[in-house]
Structure 1
Amino acid sequence: MGLIFSKKKAPSRITEQDKAVLQLKQQRDKIKQYQKRIEGLLEKDRLLAKKLLNNGQKERAKLLLRKKRYQEQLLERADGQLQNLEKMTHDIEFAQIEIQVVNGLKQGNEALKKLNEAMSIDEIEKILDETREGVEKQQEINDLLSGVLTQDDEDAVLAEFDAMVADELPTIDDVKDPGVLELPDVPEDEIEVKKQKKMKEKVALEA
């Protein structure tokens, strides 16, 4: 025997206000359709009354015009009902928006309340006091050290500091000027040979 699993229906998100708005819009559409149909009949009755008058049927023309006038009054009443429906629809939709805004403000207020509870004024003051105490303690240590050391000690500290800085700087031997081109040394023997050669050539030309 197999097991029958029943799928649970998801809760409907359509509210009573949504249903009311839908009904109002349906009624509005019906009234617009009615108006369109009446407007078409009014034009036909006007043309028919004019034709009857031309044919000498005055009474029938008057009767048709009375019918036309009555339909015009119905059309005006339909306009009023249509305006009421439009206003009521807008009012309901705007009320739904207001409810959403209020719910959003409510959730934001609750979140802000939780944040305020997580960081209370007392805790903030405690943190500030601890920070202030730490700064004051460090200042006291600096004051004590400054009072123990003499001027000679301060001079020795500064001299040691300057020496440490000098050790970190590169020396002259370590720095080479990239703009100076170093040429190789020319052998002195080669220069002497060239001088003797030039002297011999000069003596030969004079002889």
Structure 2
Amino acid sequence: MPLPVVTAINVASPCPMCPLSPRRTLSEGVPRSRRRTRRSKGVCRPRPALLQQLKQQRDKLKQYQKRITQQLEREREIARQLLRDGKKERAKLLLKKKRYREQLLDKTENQITSLETMVQSIEFTQIEMKVVEGLQIGNECLKKMHQVMSIEEVERILEETQEAVEYQRQIDELLAGSFTQEDEEAILEELNAITQEQIELPEVPSEPLPEKKPEKVPREAKPRQVELVAAS
């Protein structure tokens, strides 16, 4: 059985987003002084279609490898039967054919290993890129949190000055559009809950409370005085 045709895949094909990739442009043939230099702002990324093609070729080679292995076992049994029947030349020819298939099987194994290495490298590169993008998003979030959540800036909001009012307006503009309708409702609900707590708490008196003087307890009469009163 002939080796299946494996579509050639140029992994190092020029990427339209990579400034180092060799490519022909419409500016070729134009004097250098009249060319417009353009810098690519993107990052060279592995294409999903390329990764899918590599996986498909790998799976096809694995299927071919399994089929060849089964045929080799069958041909070995046939060669034994031919030797028992005294057909040595036909058995020798069949073993030559079997040997050729084994060589193709070795080449297939090498191709499968190469394709799996490519697939793993591309997938690992994609994971690295996702991690870098996640770090960038995290840094942006931290910057915004530092702009809004520092203690000094919260104290500035509490101050009744024109500068604090202007700062509060800037914070409102910064947060505008960052919340959904559900977020706005949750914020209002929390604000109403805090307001209700302030209403239920007793007011703190602004003046100091008067000191309460202890009441005087009358002393009991002495027994001698009681006896004199009784005798008179």
Q: Report the TM-score, using the length of structure 1 for normalisation.
A: 0.50
More helix by share: 1
> Which structure has the higher relative contact order (CA within 8 Å, separation 6+)?
1
